[in-house]
Amino acid sequence: MRRGSIASLLGIGIVSGGIAAAVALAIPWLPVSASKEAGRIDFVFWFVVTICIVIFAIVSAAILYSVVVFRAAPDDDSDGPPIHGHTGLEIAWTIVPTILVTAIGIVSAIVLSQDDAIAKNAMNVNVTAQQFEWTFSYPEAHNLTSATLMLPRGRETVLHMQSRDVIHAFFVPEFRENEDIVPGLTTTLNVTPTRDGTYPVICNELCGLGHSTMRSTVTVMEPAAFDKWLKGQSKAVTSPSAATAGAAVFKNNGCAACHTLTAAKATGKVGPDLDKLPAEAQQAKQPLASFVRTSITDPNAYIQPGFPKNVMPQTFGKAIPKQQLDALVTYLINSSK
Ligand code: CUA
């Protein structure tokens, strides 16, 4: 090969590699990285992208060079020379990809095993997925339930995830982690948040008509703020005063998103008006207390006229511990009078 052709091949390769690198680096492709695991996964991502950019530069240099230099003249209808392969080239394009793919495999395996290692002081959170709701509960704090996930910064948390119906998947883009939640299994996911903020929790498995609405949030906060939240909440939900406990359970479980209840300053319009519970119980021909309880634990048992079935999640009966459920029922009865 002439020196001129090597120089032009190199030149094209450097330019196209430079363009690819600029596109990769100049555009913020990824959301912020908010966990230790995300940092490791991003490392694998950029490791692979770097390899891709180098290969892209080599291939585009060869193609562009060939298109220009070996272009046939307009009146040239002859066949090209017969070529019987090139042993050296074939060995190279077998060995180089083998090395690259093996390297990607090794790097990925190391990152996966680091992300799966459970720290000694790890906190546990139970995650329940059901069409189309997320419920989070804290076994180390009276099974306190919450409709949003709260996590302390810097501490590893193991999520123990179960589904009540079909396959869902837990995905937080800022954590770069995704894990299927399969009925009958408990799948786990480790996350060590590194950045304060509120990020989306997304269901990442098509699970029915409401799949796209199956979202919640995760809030990462300072460990001291988290401890304060956890203590305050578990004190509230286990308070001997049903007003305090019930109000906390009502708030934690996201009831206000769908229901109106003046006592809780809730103005949701998706479900029945909870200020009118006594009238609704009368309409259902049920005693108020059992009407309220059944409407939470088995919402399809009686549907208030004008509201559709299967909108109220059927998780609450199992997700909310009995004591907290009692407090919620008492709170609702007292608030609606
Ligand atoms: Cu749950 Cu999609």
pLDDT at 239 over 80: no
Query: Which CATH architecture group holds 239-336?
Result: Orthogonal Bundle (1.10)
Q: Where are the domains of the chain?
A: 3-66+88-116, 123-222, 239-336
Decide: 177 and 169 in contact? Cβ < 8 Å: no
Q: State which ligand 1 atom lies nearest to the alpha carbon of 166.
A: 1
Q: How many CB atoms lie within 10 A of CB 193?
A: 27
- pTM for this model (two decimals): 0.73
Supply the pLDDT for residue 156. Answer: 94
Residue 315 CA, ligand 1 centroid: distance in Å:
14
pLDDT tens profile 14-50: 999 999 999 999 999 999 999 999 999 999 999 999 9
Residue 216 CA, ligand 1 centroid: distance in Å:
11
pLDDT tens profile 241-259: 777 888 888 888 888 888 9
CATH entry, 123-222, from 3.40.30.10, 2.130.10.10, 3.40.50.300, 2.60.40.420: 2.60.40.420
Cβ–ligand 1 contact at 160 (below 6 Å): no
Cβ–ligand 1 contact at 164 (below 6 Å): no
Instruction: Pick the most confident of 164-178, 240-254, 286-300.
Output: 164-178
Cβ–ligand 1 contact at 168 (below 6 Å): yes
Cβ–ligand 1 contact at 211 (below 6 Å): yes
Dihedral over Cα of 182, 188, 190, 195: its sign:
positive
Q: State which ligand 1 atom lies nearest to the alpha carbon of 167.
A: 1
Cβ–ligand 1 contact at 37 (below 6 Å): no
